[in-house]
Structure 1
């Protein structure tokens, strides 16, 4: 259980946030949920571009923050920001490399002036290297990191087939963990540090488990690697009689045996298909047979049947249904709201269970 009267983990930490759009603001949103004070620096006249490009997403990742509109090209206003940074713990920025240096607000200048400062730069490809100055979005970073090459349908072209911006959110989580580690390290050293977070590099690090699997399987061609990654028997979302889908993940041999007990899967329920290797060779045929076995069942009936047989399964829940999903609701994962409320920080910690954050600030509403 968490204590609602305890001090939040990051209470007393101040973050000056120059970032826009998704990765940087989602990083500082997580810090805000842990109790940090976030001062969002926004450019006149319209502020963060996400206010206009995606108002809903802006609201989601800027709750509980303060907003300060600053013309960074104006020396007096820059001095105002430097005064804020002098008492801050963390600076976050997501401009292209070189922009903050031209403004005199780069890590080299600020960390020298304020040695305890932790300065976080989020960019597509990092601050150095041949691609440092390239523009990009999520699909570009996934392509560069090797992720896109092994994504999509097994016999199709590379495709960003996931419903979330993977590289953006992956980079956010690495930035979050590195920022928290830097704050902890500062307790021992008394010094802050510079964190150069490349979204493509973070996705690249996530490739390690895949690279290990390809190495052990001697999968050296993209075709072999796509087959190793994408071709899976008894693994997918299967349509039921009511038009809804249920996901099944009976990869391991013991789960496959239980699936065969739950559904009529002949001829694949015989001993010749008892091993994962044997099933992978006929994955398409097995998945077609599972589709046929699921078609006569309502999705609720199918899910309950699979649960009774201890098969890894879950209904495909629609976003509008999330807050009424009994499991997450029972764990207190949703803030008060309508049928699509904000989701709270997923890990319960002392001092974080009391109240939900206020909404995203109006432009220039510093509120202190």
Structure 2
């Protein structure tokens, strides 16, 4: 059995995180990913080298200056044999460089072209610069969290916006590949990170419409609690059966009555319940509470430090190889490629995708593919 995307060729013009993470996922599924870098390389190489290494594993790197005629010609040659192209330029830049969808679709009508940007190709904010935090703010996600104390950074740790955009790009590419099997045609995909975040906001917005803004963050039995030793307990006792087990373990008979039997009843008294749970958890250290709650099948755990993720033995997703991070595709499927090589050196694969010398018969892409080691 072949890997799911065996034979699919992806040209990646993107930098930093959203585009490269999306193309790495496609590579994890078996696609060949050609990372086209400008002279000097992806900005992440210098700014965030650890991030670059984490999201560019197994790709081929070539250097093309798209501000030159030769560079544009070379990119057009790559596109002639490509299945997917991913770019993250600001709106209008690809057109000025002559690597926009209409231009490239004329070369290869089967091409699936992805523009992955912060605010999309049209609208009042389309030309605005931004990063993950800006998109979280624009889509309402940051509004779900309390305002930070003065001087403290405002964020939620994980680049949720960038990753949401990446995932919708991948889902859209897979759907477009399926459509192409019957239509024979490629298509243009305008993926906006803020749109992806707005879609991820729908569960919270549904709650907002039903319950009003005052109830949006009111989830009794759910949250972080400080224990006697300063350890942080993470609790998820939302359902009624978990709630009954929780209050039994804590010995809080006052919270076990029929007036608090349902989630909606508890939600109306969220603040008072929270205060009693906080006081109870401060009586014992974290390890004691974890042992008791887990023994009674209550959803509870501690907080894992990020550095501990690097040292977990036999992890199904994360590993290390030669000092580099390996992130395996998190869903087991037949014939997925094995752990791939480290992220490429800048221009490491230029020779494999060089233009054919004058006088040689030209391939459809106008390129010569040189086997590794040749």
2:318 matched to which residue of 1?
Answer: 334
Residue 154 of structure 1 and its aligned partner are, at CA, apart by: 11
Q: In 1, distance between residues paired with 2:206 and 2:283?
A: 40
Decide whether the 8 Å contact of 2:207 with 2:216 is kept in 1. Answer: no
Alignment gaps of 5+ in structure 1: 1-5, 220-224
1:126 matched to which residue of 2?
Answer: 120
**Residues 242-296 of structure 1: CA distance to partner in whole angstroms, max 9, x if unpaired?**
4332210111222111101111234323332222233223323322322332234
Alignment gaps of 5+ in structure 2: 353-374
1:71 matched to which residue of 2?
Answer: 65
3-state DSSP class of the match of 2:319? coil
2:19 matched to which residue of 1?
Answer: 24
Whether 1:40 aligns to 2:35 is yes
Residue 309 of structure 1 and its aligned partner are, at CA, apart by: 1.4
Shift in CA distance, 307/154, structure 1 to aligned 2, threshold 3 Å: farther
2:357 matched to which residue of 1?
Answer: none
1:162 matched to which residue of 2?
Answer: 156
Shift in CA distance, 322/128, structure 1 to aligned 2, threshold 3 Å: same
Whether 1:308 aligns to 2:291 is no
3-state DSSP class of the match of 2:216? helix
Residue 188 of structure 1 and its aligned partner are, at CA, apart by: 1.0
1:211 matched to which residue of 2?
Answer: 205
Q: In 2, distance between residues paired with 1:307 and 1:131?
A: 48
Q: In 2, distance between residues paired with 1:311 and 1:153?
A: 30
Whether 1:49 aligns to 2:9 is no
The count of residues paired between Structure 1 and Structure 2 equals 349
3-state DSSP class of the match of 2:119? coil
TM-score, normalised relative to structure 2: 0.87
Residue 179 of structure 1 and its aligned partner are, at CA, apart by: 0.5
Q: In 2, distance between residues paired with 1:339 and 1:17?
A: 26
Moved more, 61-70 or 207-216: 207-216
Decide whether the 8 Å contact of 1:323 with 1:340 is kept in 2. Answer: no
Of 335, 345, 368 in structure 2, the residue corresponding to residue 362 of structure 1 is 345
3-state DSSP class of the match of 2:255? coil
Whether 1:190 aligns to 2:184 is yes
1:263 matched to which residue of 2?
Answer: 250
Q: In 2, distance between residues paired with 1:365 and 1:91?
A: 20
Equivalent residue runs for 1:243-254 within 5 Å: 243-254=230-241
Of 209, 217, 222 in structure 2, the residue corresponding to residue 235 of structure 1 is 222
Of 117, 126, 130 in structure 1, the residue corresponding to residue 111 of structure 2 is 117
Q: In 2, distance between residues paired with 1:338 and 1:258?
A: 46
Whether 1:142 aligns to 2:136 is yes
Whether 1:351 aligns to 2:335 is yes
Shift in CA distance, 113/132, structure 1 to aligned 2, threshold 3 Å: same
Moved more, 80-89 or 276-285: 276-285
2:268 matched to which residue of 1?
Answer: 281
Q: In 1, distance between residues paired with 2:341 and 2:164?
A: 25
Q: In 1, distance between residues paired with 2:161 and 2:30?
A: 26
Q: In 1, distance between residues paired with 2:311 and 2:324?
A: 9
**Residues 225-251 of structure 1: CA distance to partner in whole angstroms, max 9, x if unpaired?**
2x3222221111222344332210111
Residue 7 of structure 1 and its aligned partner are, at CA, apart by: 1.8
Q: Over aligned residues, Cα RMSD in angstroms?
A: 2.3
TM-score, normalised relative to structure 1: 0.88
Decide whether the 8 Å contact of 2:10 with 2:33 is kept in 1. Answer: yes
2:359 matched to which residue of 1?
Answer: none
1:98 matched to which residue of 2?
Answer: 92
Shift in CA distance, 237/342, structure 1 to aligned 2, threshold 3 Å: farther
Decide whether the 8 Å contact of 2:208 with 2:216 is kept in 1. Answer: no
Q: In 1, distance between residues paired with 2:232 and 2:16?
A: 33
1:3 matched to which residue of 2?
Answer: none
**Residues 301-351 of structure 1: CA distance to partner in whole angstroms, max 9, x if unpaired?**
32232122121222211112225557xx46x22233489943311111111
3-state DSSP class of the match of 1:335? strand
Q: In 1, distance between residues paired with 2:243 and 2:143?
A: 29
**Residues 190-240 of structure 1: CA distance to partner in whole angstroms, max 9, x if unpaired?**
1110000011111112222222222223x2xxxxx2x32222211112223
